[in-house]
Amino acid sequence: MSNSQTVTAEPRPEVSELPIVSVVIPCYNYGRFLATCVRSVVSQQGVRTRVLIIDDASHDDSALIAVELAVQYPNVEVVVHPQNKGHIATYNEGLLKWASGDYVTLLSADDELPAGSLERSVRLMEANPAVGMVYGGIEEFGEGASPSSPAPHRRPTAIVYSGRKWLRKRCREAVNVVPTPGTVLRTQVQRAAGGYDPLLTHAGDFDMWLRVALVADIGYVGGHPQGRYRIHGSSMSQGVYQESWADVRQRKLVFDSLFTNHAGELTRAGIDPAPTYARLAGHPLWWACREYEKGNPHATAVDECVAFATETYPGVGSLRPYRALRRRQRLGAAFCHRTQIFVGTAIVRRLLNRYWWFRWKRFGG
């Protein structure tokens, strides 16, 4: 890990004036989750929290529950929109107009914070003034799961990455490694980076993290989950964005924005857009290869993958996944499936993917 500094997360000494973390909780029809979400925040130790629930004109009892929580907890405030403004405008309202104090985080009303999450993030930033954002792993849980977090498997540790080197790796891999639940920013860094882009409705968080890395170093906390992400049928990731590779289209828009609006900064950081777009083009091509290996490729979907890859990277013919797809097309799906001629390649891809996930859980990507 030559591009990082590893430090042990020691207990924070008691102080009379604890750092303030502003927690923005946007809510739209998540009244049934709101109370457990807020309680997971106000119960955080080692920091002072101030909470803003923004109800975006929900049709359920979210607004009523929010007001009841504000009565119960003096550090909770509520804003109720008379008309729906959408999630991006709601995020920016809380992060840019309301947030104050030392640090800020955004937490969806259906997610939660594990015990100690904010203290671990703040401790790392207090010890490293150049760090502007801290993230960590998440725990996924179902709609009826217990709000308690499991015991960690390792001693909590923290890693500090140079913002420039972290950004270079994100551009090289073209994958978002930062989950939103539990990610904390310095309030001044949030203002310097700006708000969420309304054009990036699905990948605005990825765009935000990349812009933060332009102005600050990045921290990662391992050993404990830093956020709890609820899986349920009405969540955004389970509903609107169900296409198998819609995410790669949004990631392309993120990098289009980054390379257009920050070209000079990226050039000075030694970041070339070509490898980024080559990697983005390769993702759907490998998916198409897998469809041939399974013996039942959908012709239209495969054509869309090739069209996207060609549009994304003009030199698509030189890419390994493109050549791999053409070999499978020449042999035919029935032959690929019956003979399993490419099973070795599939196993290698699967092992590399598992190794990537191992590194993400240990080092943050």
Number of domains in the chain: 2
Q: Which amino acid is it at 174?
A: A
- Are residues 232 and 293 part of one domain? no
Averaged pLDDT, 188-203: 94
DSSP designation for 13:
P
Residue 161 maps to a domain: yes
pLDDT class for 354, splitting at 50, 70, 90? confident
Residue-wise pLDDT for 288-298, tens only, equals: 999 999 998 98
Give the pairing of strands 4-8 and 131-142. unpaired
Look at residue 355 and tell me whether its pLDDT is greater than 90.
no
Q: pLDDT category, 356, cuts 50, 70, 90?
A: confident
More confident residue, 55 or 143: 55
pLDDT of residue 12: 47
Asked whether residue 230 falls in the same domain as residue 290, the answer is no
CA distance 238 to 235: 5
- Name the residue range of residue 295's domain: 272-363
Helix%, strand%, coil% for the chain, nearest 5: 50, 20, 35
Look up the CATH number of the domain holding residue 74: 3.90.550.10
Mean pLDDT of 116-132: 97
Least confident stretch, 34-48, 155-169, 183-197:
155-169
Dihedral angle, C-alpha 237, 240, 245, 248, nearest 10 °: -80
Over residues 74-88, the pLDDT tens digits come to 999 999 999 999 999
- Let me know if 339 is exposed, middle or buried by CB neighbors in 10 A (0-12, 13-18, 19+): exposed
Q: Which of 7-16, 141-150, 215-224 has the lowest mean pLDDT?
A: 7-16
Give the global pTM. Answer: 0.87
Closest CA to 282 of 336, 250, 324, 241: 324
256: tokens are 């289009």
Residue 130 within any structural domain of the chain = yes
Q: Identify the band that residue 145 occupies on the pLDDT scale cut at 50, 70 and 90.
A: low
| Average pLDDT of the residues in 336-349 | 87
Same domain, 117 and 26: yes
Instruction: Of 330, 318, 323, give the one whose Cα is nearest residue 278.
Output: 318
Residue 112 is given by DSSP the state: B
Same domain, 296 and 159: no
What's the chain's average pLDDT? 88
DSSP string covering 153-217, please? SS--EEEEE-HHHHHHHHHHH------STT-EEEHHHHHHH----TT-TTTHHHHHHHHHHTTSE
> What is the C-alpha separation between 66 and 6, in angstroms, rounded?
40
Q: Is residue 72 part of a domain?
A: yes
